[in-house]
Homo-oligomer: A and B are copies of this chain.
Amino acid sequence: MKVVVKKFGGTSVASLNLMRNVALRVERALKEGERVVLVLSAMGNTTDRLIEMAREVSVSPVPRELDMLLSTGEIVSVALMSMILNRMGIKACSMTGGYHAGIITDDNYTRARIKYIEADRLKELLEEGVVPVVAGFQGVNENGDITTLGRGGSDTTAVALAVALNADRCEIYTDVNGVYAADPRVVPDAVRIPVISYDEMMEMAVLGARVLQYRCVDLARRYNVELIVKSSFYEDGGTVIKEVDDMMERSEVRAVTHNEDVAKVVIKDVPDRPGMAARIFRKLGDKGIPIDMIIQGVTKGDRSDVAFIVSRSDLQSVLDVADEVVKEVGAAGVSYNMDIAKVSLVGANITSDPSMPGKMFSVLAENGINIDMIATSGLRISCIVERKHINDAVRALYRAFNVYETGNE
């Protein structure tokens, strides 16, 4: 018998009526012979409301207490959903992520990582034909305190349970009907990608595609869990994320992604001595701030500029660290620019085709778009452009690389 983990996000359970729709979907799946494990997020904007209350009482709430508070949102969802299912005659049992579903995490409150899962009770329930309804986003540490898994945590819960239960697949239901080859708000006729590899999906997540978090795809990849992203409001569509065998020699552009949540920071006139860059980026790394696209400028005499891209939400922390660094290494100062955005081409082996980068830069140039910084990896080519040009850049690249053809394979 097939075991399928189905995860529904906040917009899919935002009201009792929407919850009833989810329950009907579960009913259909059971009739088709699936054994279903449900994972739910908190209803609608519940988590935001709770965070707001916490901020109202404390500028920096104790992380343990914040997790205790936030965990309640998902518990409300699973208790109500279990009532709905039972009312329909479907045996269901709500479960907190930690004590009941057995998700044991480390001690990093607000961004805990799963250490292991004690899935005995889940397995028993499945054996008995009961639908476990598991609160996503949460676990419990070995001290018995409630933790939360951070952004996209419920997706991670779903994939981790799929691993622990050796499930046939993990379905992520959300408010979009899969992964698109470009943001449909920018490219209205952007095609849905029916199948994509883990690696490509991870690259897209890093580059700003919001549909799945990197971490969740990474986990699925490592344990080879077939992931499906689909809309909770439509039957058809969706994107399958799995190991794609035939991509070894393929070098197509699968998607054009863009991200406006970026800022550029420049540390000016850094003395050109060994270890200077290490000093800067170790400090930022210690604070857990992810850095993208580091460029050390052309040396002017014995000094050079160091520029890099960070997320806008991290900018203040980065500037604080940068100020320290300036003093320590004797640089001239720090500047930043928020008036930028990042556009990327994503595809397996994309940089193994030597014509790709040149073609990308030409397309942007032809459209009068200046490139400020460039970064490449095996799976992507990214350019920093002026913010006001970002939508034009996405559209021009989408057309020029015929993404709709490769997407619709």
B residues near A78, Cβ cutoff 8 Å: 68
Interface code A46-77, partner B: CB below 8 Å = 1, 0 otherwise? Answer: 00001001101111011011101101100110
In the assembled complex, the Cα of A54 lies from the Cα of B59 at a distance in Å of 34
Known A57-B16, A144-B99: A94·B65 in contact at CB below 8 Å: yes
Mask, A13-57, CB within 8 Å of B = 1, is 000100110000000000000000000000000000010011011
The CA of A144 and the CA of B57, in the complex, are separated in Å by: 32
A-B contact pairs, 25 of them (CB 8 A): A16-B56, A16-B57, A20-B57, A50-B76, A53-B80, A54-B80, A57-B87, A58-B84, A58-B86, A65-B80, A65-B94, A66-B79, A68-B75, A68-B79, A68-B82, A69-B75, A69-B76, A69-B83, A71-B75, A72-B75, A72-B76, A72-B79, A99-B99, A99-B144, A100-B144
Known A66-B79, A68-B79, A72-B75; further 15 A-B contacts with Cβ < 8 A: A16-B56, A16-B57, A19-B57, A54-B83, A57-B87, A61-B87, A64-B94, A65-B80, A68-B75, A68-B94, A69-B75, A69-B76, A99-B99, A99-B144, A100-B145
- Smallest CB separation, A108 vs chain B (Å): 18
Closest CB pairs A-B (n = 7)? A69-B79, A72-B72, A68-B79, A58-B87, A61-B83, A65-B82, A58-B83
Measured CB to CB, the nearest residue on chain B to A68 is B79
Question: Is B83's CB under 8 angstroms from A57's CB?
Answer: yes
Given contacts A57-B80, A80-B53, A80-B57, A86 and B100 within 8 Å (CB-CB): no
**Residue of chain B at shortest CB distance from A86:** B62
> Which one of B62, B75, B83 lies within 8 Å of A66 (CB-CB)?
B83
**Chain A 362-394 against B: per-residue CB contact (8 Å), 1 yes, 0 no?**
000000000000000000000000000000000
What B residues does A99 contact at CB under 8 A?
A: 99, 144
Most chain B beta-carbon contacts within 10 A, residue among A20, A80, A99: A80
Residues on B with C-beta less than 8 A from A54 are: 79-80, 83
Name the distance in Å between A116's Cβ and chain B's nearest Cβ.
18
> How far is B144's CA from A83's CA once the two chains are assembled, in angstroms?
19
- Asked if A16 and B100 make an inter-chain contact with CB atoms under 8 angstroms apart, the answer reads no
Q: Which residue of B lies closest to A70 (CB)?
A: B79
Interface string of A79-121 (1 = CB under 8 A from B): 1101110110000011010011000000000000000000000
Beta-carbon nearest neighbor of A146 in chain B: B96
| Whole-angstrom distance between the Cβ of A12 and the nearest chain B Cβ | 16
C-alpha spacing A93/B65, complex, angstroms: 8
A83 near B100 with CB under 8 A, answer no
Whole-angstrom distance between the Cβ of A387 and the nearest chain B Cβ? 37
Nearest-CB distance from A80 to chain B (Å)?
6
Q: In the complex, what distance in Å separates the CA atom of A76 from the CA atom of B78?
A: 16
A290 to B288, CA, bound (A): 61
- Please report the C-alpha to C-alpha distance between residue A68 and residue B75 in the assembled complex, in whole angstroms: 7
A69 with B80, Cβ < 8 A, contacts A56-B16, A87-B57 known: yes
A16 partner residues in chain B, CB cutoff 8 A? 53, 56-57
Q: For A79, give its contact among B65, B86, B100, B144 (CB under 8 Å).
A: B65
Kindly report which residue of chain B lies nearest to residue A135, judged by CB atoms. B68
- A59 to chain B: closest residue by CB: B87
Q: With the chains together, A71 CA to B135 CA distance in Å? A: 14
A344-371 vs B, CB cutoff 8 Å, 1 = contact: the mask equals 0000000000000000000000000000
Residue in chain B with minimal CB distance to A100: B144
* CB closest residue in chain B, given A54: B83
Measured between beta carbons, the chain B residues less than 8 angstroms from A66 are 79, 83
Of the candidates B50, B58, B86, B100, which one forms a contact with A65 in the assembled complex, judged by CB atoms under 8 Å apart? B86
